[in-house]
Structure 1
Amino acid sequence: MLQNWKKIMLLAIPSLISFATATLTGTVSLIMVGDLGFVVIAVVGVTNIIMYNAFAIFSGIGHTVNYLVAQNYGAGDMKKGIERTYLAFYMCIIFALLIALVGWTMSSELLRWIGGPKSGNLVNVGTEYLEIRFYAMSFGIISFAFHGFLRGIGSTTLSMVIALISNLIMIFLVYALTFGTLGFPNLGLRGTGLAILIGEAIQVAICAYVYFFVLNKRFATRILVRIKWPEFRLLAFESGKLGMQEFSLSLSMFIFTVFVARLGERALAANEIALNVMSFGFMPAFAFGATATILVGQYVGQGKAILGRRAGTDTAILGTIFLILLGTAEFFFAEQIARIYSNDVQVYELAAYLIKISAFLQIFDGLLNFFAGGLRGLGDTTFLLFISLAVSWLLFVPLSYLFIFVLGWGSLGAWLALYTFLAVFGLAVTFRFYRTDWSAVKLREASPH
């Protein structure tokens, strides 16, 4: 068991650092722009939710590359893994252009719809920032596919290094361009958006260099890949399912944010601060979930799926330990943490209250990510799509409306609905993971028809 745990940690820790760096970038950016006022905090929070939705729609491509390449790597058939990755790149470029078009034409309308009757400040302050963030997201979905490939071959350390470089550049530029330091122009919130755009573009450039030059000797990555329609259909179908799964989650969170926005800008700002703090709990959840995908996928490729079940269990145990330790720190230092983001008493007190509620309930989010990661490694994407649609739209959204508006529980009701949803979802995927007939699991192949 100790050998398995060591293997898991060697894969998970670099992923954890990668996600931590991305989260830290968002946190530092939010803290820095927090000095510009609570309206700016609300703009950044709403924009983050919109970006999450934009990313989620197309994130299925990266997730599919991750699990298919993991299976191909385990099976020793990286020629097919490379071909599938190229097909993913073709899809990403097309969708990147679509995302940029949406940002160019619809940014103000999106902010106006979210903010409702009180959207004036959000639209005036945030339209340009949101548009720039859409452009940044166009680069983001391409780099996500690159990282999916790296995780699939178990190269989480290389993925971590790329994330560290790009996110540190991003943090520096946020500081420099937002406040006009070190000889840079003082661009305010616009500067924050430009910093993220530049950082994402640099990340794509680094990923391209690593893929086409560093990894070429090992995997012959510089090849001309023609579209093979059975493989393209497989990639598109799997990407569509995983993308819809992520989108149903993100869109339900989007509606959740719209509900919270109706409580006022201070409530929205407190909600964003609490979500940002709780994202530190999402880090180990995502990192160990990604590790489960890698290990399960590789064992399936080797024809040893039952070992993947053991690896998934060990991954969940280690990830839960991380979440308990993190939740304890968040619970006892909730107010001190919230005051880092804002000096508005109403904002930081409400944020601290929400952080305390979430500190240990985030374990359910961990279960969701650990075992959903394992199911992705199996290729059990249809179940993930259906359960995501069911709990998002038959439970989360109606319950949020009931608790916030009908029962009048405000921000407390919003977060009780959120964690009821995560608990049901997490337990459902855990049950599915252990009810799977692992002896019947096979390598995922494209259908010729």
Structure 2
Amino acid sequence: MMKNWKKILLLAIPSIASFASMTVTGTINLIMVGQLGALAIAIVGVSNIVMYNAWALFSGIGHTVNYLVAQNFGANDMKKGVERTYIAFYLCIAACLLIAFVGLFFSETIFRIMGSSEELIQQGTGYLQIRFFAMVFSIFIFVFHGFFRGIGDTKTPMISAILGNGLMIFFTSGLTYGNFGMPEIGLIGAGYALLIGEIVIFLICAYVYFIRLHLAYETRSKVAFDRAESKLILGESGKLGMQEFSMSMAMFVFTAFVTRLGTNALAANEIALNVMSFGFMPAFAFSSTATILVGQEIGKKRPLDAKKYGTGTAIIGSVFLFILGIVQFFLAEPIAKIYTDDIEVYTLASKLIMISAFLQLFDGLLNFYAGGLRGIGDTSFLLRTSLILGWFFFIPLAYVLTFVLGLSSMGAWISLYSFLAVFGIAVMIRFYKRDWNSLKIKEADIDINKNIS
């Protein structure tokens, strides 16, 4: 068991550092932007939710590459892994054209749909447009990172993320406030800083994939169109993308509810979400680790070892989240004060942080075991559960607690973690109820609408 835990940590720690750099960058950027006032915080908060939805819709491409490449790597069939990655790139091109089009022509409309104030719309539309353009590179980056992690390389995503995010911080300070001899262009500058950082990460990943890894995996090979493989990639990407999109749209509605509570409530909500993203960080990292190890063991035809790795990853990840929860619970108000000196905003934000401190363990369970299920290709279950719980449990409960019972932001967050708790437990039960002895590698000739059996 100790050998397994060491392997888990060697993969997870670089992923934690990678996600940590993103989280820290988001936190520092929000703190810097926060000095522009509550309106700027609110604009960033709403934009983050919009971009999460845009990313989620196409995130299935990266998730699919991650688990299929992990299985191919375990089976020592990386020729197929590279072929599948190229098919994913073609899907990325189509996705990015759509994202750029929506960002250019519909950013203002999106703010209006969310019920934003006229002032927020006027000052936030340009910022949101830039965020959409940055998302074009993010989609490709997620596929590159999915490939790297699939072959067990979690260091390249870490290095590229740290370098790119470091530049984001530098340019946010420079372009927002005119530091380092740069022009002072306020919130728009923060948007450009993010775009620059994403471009740099993309270029680093492209170099590693097409240049550094070519000798080992022939990553610059011409890939002929394969209808069966394309159908598999499209189907799996659709299911995993719709699962993430279902959750992100539910969060979109959740934020729309909070938006109607006023600018201060929205600002407090964004601060709390940003703080809680430090919990999402190890959750995502260990989720990715579970996908890698479970997928690779399935490729090696060792399903019972895959199950053990999934369990070990969940245990270690939960310990990380529990320790983090202790810190967040007892330091909730001092942490919230870092973001703003508005007493109404930081008081509410600190209460939301305290609610979430230990409940985020359920979010961890959801991520850890969902990562394991992705590793075996059990994507249909994740999609069905996300749709049912998100739209028939979470959203109705959020509306009742927030508006009918008048609990405002507190009610909204109680509903959020009730949803994560039920979802996390459901995914964990599914993981252990699978017939692990019968699991096999995902092949293109398998009906993409069925789980591996």
TM interval, shorter chain, is: over 0.9
Partner residue, 2:450: none
Query: Does the Cα contact within 8 Å between 1:270 and 1:347 map onto a contact in 2?
Result: yes
Query: Does the Cα contact within 8 Å between 1:230 and 1:448 map onto a contact in 2?
Result: no
Partner residue, 2:4: 4
- State which drifts further: 154-163 or 36-45: 154-163
Q: Which runs of 5+ in 2 are unaligned?
A: 448-453
Partner residue, 1:73: 73
Give 2:5's aligned amino acid: W
The C-alpha deviation readout for 1:318-338, integer Å capped at 9, x for no partner, is: 000000000000001000000
Distance 1:226 1:120 in 2: 51
Say whether residues 1:152 and 2:119 are aligned partners.
Answer: no
Say whether residues 1:330 and 2:321 are aligned partners.
Answer: no
Instruction: Write out aligned runs for 1:29-428 (5 A).
Output: 29-116=29-116, 119-428=117-426
Partner residue, 2:24: 24
Distance 1:375 1:269 in 2: 35
Give 2:106's aligned amino acid: M
User: What is the aligned-residue RMSD (CA, Å)?
Assistant: 0.8
Q: Provide the secondary structure at the position in 2 that maps to 1:182.
A: helix
Q: Provide the secondary structure at the position in 1 that maps to 2:422.
A: helix
Distance 2:224 2:40 in 1: 47
Q: CA deviation at 1:94?
A: 1.4
Distance 2:268 2:157 in 1: 33
Give the TM-score taking structure 1 as reference length: 0.99
Give 1:2's aligned amino acid: M
Query: Does the Cα contact within 8 Å between 1:115 and 1:122 map onto a contact in 2?
Result: no
Give 1:207's aligned amino acid: C
Q: CA deviation at 1:115?
A: 2.5
Query: Does the Cα contact within 8 Å between 1:170 and 1:199 map onto a contact in 2?
Result: yes
Q: Which runs of 5+ in 1 are unaligned?
A: none
Distance 1:159 1:262 in 2: 38
Distance 1:56 1:276 in 2: 18
Give 2:96's aligned amino acid: A
Give 2:233's aligned amino acid: L
Give 2:124's aligned amino acid: G
Query: Does the Cα contact within 8 Å between 1:57 and 1:247 map onto a contact in 2?
Result: yes
Distance 2:127 2:277 in 1: 22
Segments of 4+ in structure 1 off by > 2 A?
Answer: none
Give 1:60's aligned amino acid: G
Distance 1:314 1:106 in 2: 45
Q: Provide the secondary structure at the position in 2 that maps to 1:222.
A: coil
Give 2:177's aligned amino acid: F
Q: Provide the secondary structure at the position in 2 that maps to 1:155.
A: coil
Distance 2:165 2:225 in 1: 34
- State which drifts further: 214-223 or 237-246: 214-223
Give 1:95's aligned amino acid: A
Distance 1:115 1:344 in 2: 23
Distance 2:173 2:10 in 1: 33
Count of residues paired in the alignment: 447
Give 1:27's aligned amino acid: T
Q: CA deviation at 1:448?
A: 7.9
Q: CA deviation at 1:75?
A: 0.1
Q: CA deviation at 1:204?
A: 1.0
Q: Provide the secondary structure at the position in 1 that maps to 2:445.
A: coil
- State which drifts further: 248-257 or 21-30: 21-30
1:442 to 431, 437, 440: 440
